[in-house]
Structure 1
Amino acid sequence: MRPGICLMIFFLLATGWAEAWGEGAYSAGYAAVLAAHVRDGGVDYAGLKEQEALLNTVLEAMAAVDPATLPQPERIAFYINAYNAWTIKLILDHWPGIRSIKEAGNILRSPWKREFVRLAGKTVSLDAIEHGILRRHYGDARLHFALNCASVSCPPLAGVPYQGQTLNAQLDAQTAAFINDPAQTFVADGRLHVSKLFDWYGEDFGGETGAWAFIRRFAGPRLATALDALADHRLVYTDYDWALNDRPRGARPSAPAAAPEQP
């Protein structure tokens, strides 16, 4: 039996998930899926496709949760997990052959506007979760680094579910990891080059000046030194790679995100 399957069975039996139908249930099952198939932020879609029934069971458990009954940190964590899990499902619905999440949409409707997410008795879109719920009601710019769009340039998919009791630390870690990734944030030709997320969601960061301050807040020593040496605080937005965040099998699973590096 493959290690991924053994790990899933362990999680399910250890938590009694097969008999329980609540928030703890979905979290344990989702943790098993991530542990078996997330590799350094990428996803083993081929392996997940073979075990899609397990993901479907997780999604059923999520659909049975009423987010309104959860305390706020748990509610935010739930919505992040739901967004990421249903994004995986969207890719699997088109696997194999899909090269970008954009191929899951069409000229009339983007994949993020498709209403296929079952949430608290309704069927909604990924956009409804991101823009209609998370951005509208919680206004935390760190959320942009927790939501995964199944693309190479997107902030990596976390290898563990988000949890209410550790949410603040998890959001800090995900944000710091992305900002301190030299592929995402770097200085060249006297200017700071950053992800287009800071352009698309500029209002969430407080414009270009706010984005600079946000990046400086999470910058580790190396990046902070480079930032402090720059006289020009204008940002350069890098091209976004929409290629699928697929990873081949056999890669070692990544460890949970560590605490952010302190300036």
Structure 2
Amino acid sequence: MNIMVSGVRILPAHLKKVHIFVAAVLFACIGFSLPASAGQVEPLPNASWGRLLTEFVSDGRVDYERLKQHPDLLQESIREFAGISRQIYGAWDRKTQIAFWINAYNLFTIKAVVDQYPPKGWNLLYPKVSIRQIGGVWDKTAYRTAGQVVSLDQIEHAILRGVFKEPRAHFALVCASLGCPPLSSIPYEGETLEPMLDQQAQKYISDPEHGLRWDAEHRILCLSQIFSWFGKDFFYYFTVHQLFQDLPPGKSDALNFIWEHIPDELKKSLTEGAFRIEYMDYDWSLNDLHSS
């Protein structure tokens, strides 16, 4: 049975992987089959979204309470993203398309939280105030944009990971949790995508509480769960550096990416002998500006 959420029909959970695969194929076709001349290219829908980030995001956290009380910018941002057609999307270059989907994911995540704010539930595995208390937030709630209907899972896994294979998106996508990278206070744009993704990765890996921590005494490298869940996404960086070849795929791929973002002192330590990799507990507490 299909599920209707806010007028959008979503497939049931047991068809989720098939639906993600179909979405990946569909968006691959959309992205590369609709060329347009430079004079026809529309800008990203970042006007209201940029103002929302400026007014409601501070130090990577979101003022959900105030945004719920004053939702005009959020509603306008949703309308602007919904107004992007397949033709507009298809005219963008690759970097602009990636920037668009990162913005869309972060906007739709904020919308999902604001709609349920404060999100409280009875799932004892996660914090009381957490996006994990919102049922179906990633796979059953969906949004209209680029001429299609997409869920957050489809944006992340089918499009950014599947079609574009951009692992640095993991440091730009913010799942409304403290364990996530901090939310950028400016929108992503195609022209500045490369430095912004690199900066986001550097910032996250430099965070000893959530990204990376080195225990020199016990030679333990503590990493974010992101590198456990998505380690193989970083395979390209293994082909570049070819370090840590004795480690299994996933771990070696992630470490070759991390290598580009750690200080020389830590690089030296990691090459001086064996070390153990552990993964930090992921903090699913809401990235609320007013939380402790």
Structure exhibiting the larger radius of gyration computed from Cα positions: 2
Change (3 A) 1:62 1:213: same
In structure 1, the partner of 2:65 is 46
Q: Which residue of 2 aligns with 1:118?
A: 144
Aligned positions of 1:196-207 closer than 5 A: 196-206=225-235, 207=250
Instruction: Tell which deviates more after alignment, 182-191 or 236-245.
Output: 182-191
Deviation (angstroms), 1:83:
0.3
How far residue 35 of structure 1 moved from its aligned partner, in angstroms, is: 0.7
| Kept after mapping to 2: 8 A contact 1:191/1:232 | no
Select the residue among 45, 50, 75 that pairs with 1:26: 45
4+ long deviations beyond 3 Å = 22-25, 220-229
Unaligned runs of 5+ in 2: 1-40, 121-128, 236-249
Report the aligned-residue RMSD: 1.9
- In the alignment, structure 1 residue 216 sits paired with structure 2 residue 259: yes
1:137 and 2:167 matched: no
Mapped to 2, the partners of 1:112 and 1:151 lie a distance apart of: 14
Q: Do the aligned residues in 1 keep the contact of 2:231 with 2:254 (CA within 8 Å)?
A: yes
How far apart are residue 69 of structure 1 and its match?
A: 2.2
- Write the mapping of 1:1-263 to structure 2, written as runs, cut at 5 A: 24=43, 26-66=45-85, 67-98=89-120, 99-105=129-135, 110-183=136-209, 184-188=211-215, 189-206=218-235, 207-221=250-264, 223-224=266-267, 226-229=269-272, 231-248=273-290
Give, in angstroms, the shift of residue 173 of structure 1. 0.2
d(CA) in 2 for partners of 1:244, 1:222? 34
Q: Structure 1 counterpart of 2:152, which letter?
A: L
Rounded Cα–Cα distance in structure 2 between residues aligned with 1:223 and 1:177: 16
**Secondary structure of 1:165's aligned partner:** coil
Deviation at 1:101, TM superposition (A): 0.6
Kept in 2, the 8 Å contact 1:147–1:155? The answer is yes
Mind listing any 5+ residue stretches in structure 1 that lack a counterpart? 1-21, 250-263
Show the counterpart of 1:255. none
TM-score w.r.t. the length of structure 1 is 0.79
Shift of 1:47: 1.3
Q: Secondary structure in 2 aligned to 1:215?
A: helix
Further displaced range: 199-208 or 163-172: 199-208
Q: How far apart, in 2, do the equivalents of 1:54 and 1:246 lie?
A: 18
Cα distance in 1 for partners of 2:102, 2:266 equals 28
Read off the aligned partner of 1:90 and give its amino acid letter. Answer: A
**Paired residue secondary structure (1:112):** coil
Partners in 2 of 1:233 and 1:112 — Cα distance? 36
Give 1:216 deviation, angstroms: 1.2
Cα 1:23/1:61, change in 2 over 3 Å: farther
| 8 Å CA contact 2:44, 2:100 repeated in 1 | no
Identity, % of aligned pairs?
40
TM-score, scaled to structure 2: 0.72
